[in-house]
Amino acid sequence: MKILTLNCGSSSVKYGLWEMPGEQPLAQGLIERVGLADGIITHTVTGRDPVRRDRNFPTHGHAIEAVFEFLTDESHGVVGDVGEIDAAAHRVVHGGEQYTHSVLIDDDVITAIEDNALLAPLHNPNNLAGIHHAMTIMPDKPHTASWDTAFSAAFMPDRATMYAIPYEYYERFGIRRFGYQGLSHLYVTRRAAALMGEPSSDVNIVSLHIGNGSTVTAVAGGMPVDQSLGFSTCGEGLVMGTRCGDLDPTIPLFLMKHAGLSADEAEDILYRKSGVLGLSGRFVDRREIIDAATAGDTRAELALEVECYRIRKYIGSYSAAMGGIDAVVFTAGVGENSAVHRAKACEGLEFLGIEIDDDKNRAAFGRTAEAEISTADSRVKVFVIPTDEELVMAVDAEAIIEDRYDIPTRFRYTFEESGFVPTYLRMG
């Protein structure tokens, strides 16, 4: 069975083609700058060098068409025609309370994605566009949805999901904490448990997905018990690339009253002009922030310190929420690549049993290996684990089609085995 995974972002499409069973990646790719000038597609077939092409992608539809074009290309493809692809698995950010695990897409699922676009306006519409275009190209094949909110939304206890506002707003509008980036947190926490030689049900892990979008999840005994992002993808938790994270709720109200901002303008500031960009005044890329801070740029130094301090606070608070901690995991673009962020985030946490080995930390860079960066004496293991949301999607899709899928806390993935070889190593 060949399964295509599709992840449509606001201006990107990430894709992969998998041979199942065996979870063998046949090809993977990324289309960037969808809807913008100077688009780029990077396409990699297992065992070959990446192919990069400059091309404009005016819409997600054009991007999806390019995915199928490259997968079937005579020189760079891996299948003879689209008919050889048996199914498509789609990442969808928000399933609300209706969908809390991966499902086969039908009319009800499409309606739920549309309805929950109010909760994820920057994501669900693009996810849905990808589904519609892929269904047009593959109309007679099964399509599945894997929800980014599912891992947290399904299992967090009420004490972690409910806001202390009038209960009627939960009843009328579904205002509660959902949690995001669940596919990533599921994968890396299961991998961390495997690297420790323990079942996930026996360990407490703080999982840190640090990138332009950032989240922390507390996973106790294999179950998410808290998550830093709440109702929206913006206004809670860590400092992100352009998003503010934790914020006094009166601040946007103050700005609307006294700076004359409209609701849309306030939203634009919180989503697109805040985070490390807002603090530094000019940087989103953390490499540029580190370089500028090292060169004496005080605003860049402030952005770096605030971001890492917020991460450190969440590690401590989630350790308390779980009643103890066995491991910390860093993943995603910044988490996997920035030794500076990892060191600063764990600084001063020796009282919790968290001790970083500086040499191991500096050596952990890029998608080369899963690395333990804690010292030999550290009571808490610290890992850098490259995430693999697409593998979770492909495995879920195969299990759904074969009618053997179960909720994540009962479903055992092959990547939970200690001998599992990560996808990026199998790509060659």
DSSP-assigned letters across all residues of 114-146: HHGGGT-TTTHHHHHHHHHHHHHHSTTS-EEEE
Q: Are 147 and 92 in contact (CB under 8 A)?
A: yes
The CA distance from 19 to 27, in Å, is 10
Give the pLDDT of residue 398.
97
Q: Are 297 and 249 in contact (CB under 8 A)?
A: no
Give the pLDDT of residue 116.
86
Q: How confident is the model over 205-232, as a mean pLDDT? A: 94
Q: Is residue 381 helix, strand or coil?
A: strand
Give the pLDDT of residue 161.
95
The CA distance from 414 to 411, in Å, is 10
Q: How confident is the model over 321-328, as a mean pLDDT? A: 97
Q: Are 66 and 57 in contact (CB under 8 A)?
A: yes
What is the DSSP code string of 229-256?
--SSSSSSSS--SS---S--THHHHHHH
Q: How confident is the model over 203-230, as a mean pLDDT? A: 95
43 membership: H or E segment, kind and range:
strand 40-45
Give the pLDDT of residue 375.
97
Q: Are 99 and 145 in contact (CB under 8 A)?
A: yes
pLDDT class of 154 with cuts at 50, 70, 90: confident
pLDDT greater than 80 at residue 235: no
pLDDT greater than 80 at residue 306: yes
Give the pLDDT of residue 421.
92
pLDDT greater than 80 at residue 428: no
Active site residue 264: no
Please write the tens of the pLDDT for every residue from 236-260. 999 999 999 999 999 999 999 999 9
Assign residue 394 a region: left if phi > 0, alpha if psi is -120 to 50, beta otherwise?
A: alpha
Please write the tens of the pLDDT for every residue from 332-354. 999 999 999 999 999 999 999 99
The CA distance from 78 to 109, in Å, is 30
Kindly state the percentage of the chain with pLDDT values over 70: 100
The residue type of 268 is D
Q: Are 123 and 9 in contact (CB under 8 A)?
A: yes
Average pLDDT, the chain: 93
Assign residue 179 a region: left if phi > 0, alpha if psi is -120 to 50, beta otherwise?
A: left
Please write the tens of the pLDDT for every residue from 66-85. 999 999 999 999 999 999 99
pLDDT greater than 80 at residue 234: no
- Which residue out of 148, 226, 297, 388 is catalytically annotated? 148
Q: Which of 30-39, 141-150, 182-191 has the lowest mean pLDDT?
A: 30-39
Give the pLDDT of residue 63.
93
pLDDT class of 280 with cuts at 50, 70, 90: very high
Give the pLDDT of residue 38.
85
pLDDT greater than 80 at residue 182: yes
63 membership: H or E segment, kind and range:
helix 60-71
The CA distance from 341 to 339, in Å, is 6
List the one residue out of 250, 15, 263, 256 whose CA is nearest residue 121: 263
Which residue stretches of 174-238 are H helix?
A: 182-195
pLDDT greater than 90 at residue 167: yes
pLDDT greater than 90 at residue 417: no
Contact partners, residue 30, CB within 8 Å, separation at least 6: 12, 13, 14, 15, 41, 42
Give, in degrees to the nearest 5, the angle at Cα 389 between 195 and 124.
Answer: 150
Give the pLDDT of residue 419.
85
383 membership: H or E segment, kind and range:
strand 381-384
The CA distance from 91 to 54, in Å, is 25
Give the pLDDT of residue 218.
97
Give the pLDDT of residue 33.
85
Q: Which tokens hold the place of 126?
A: 């693009």
pLDDT greater than 90 at residue 98: no
pLDDT class of 418 with cuts at 50, 70, 90: confident
HSE (side-chain half, CA atoms, 13 Å) at 297: 17
What structural domains does the chain harbor? 2-147+390-426 (3.30.420.40), 188-384 (3.30.420.40)
Assign residue 54 a region: left if phi > 0, alpha if psi is -120 to 50, beta otherwise?
A: beta
Give, in degrees to the nearest 5, the angle at Cα 133 between 28 and 105.
Answer: 90
Q: Which tokens hold the place of 37?
A: 């000038």
Which is more confidently placed, 93 or 319? 319
pLDDT class of 409 with cuts at 50, 70, 90: confident
Q: Is 246 exposed, middle or buried (0-12, 13-18, 19+ CB in 10 A)?
A: middle
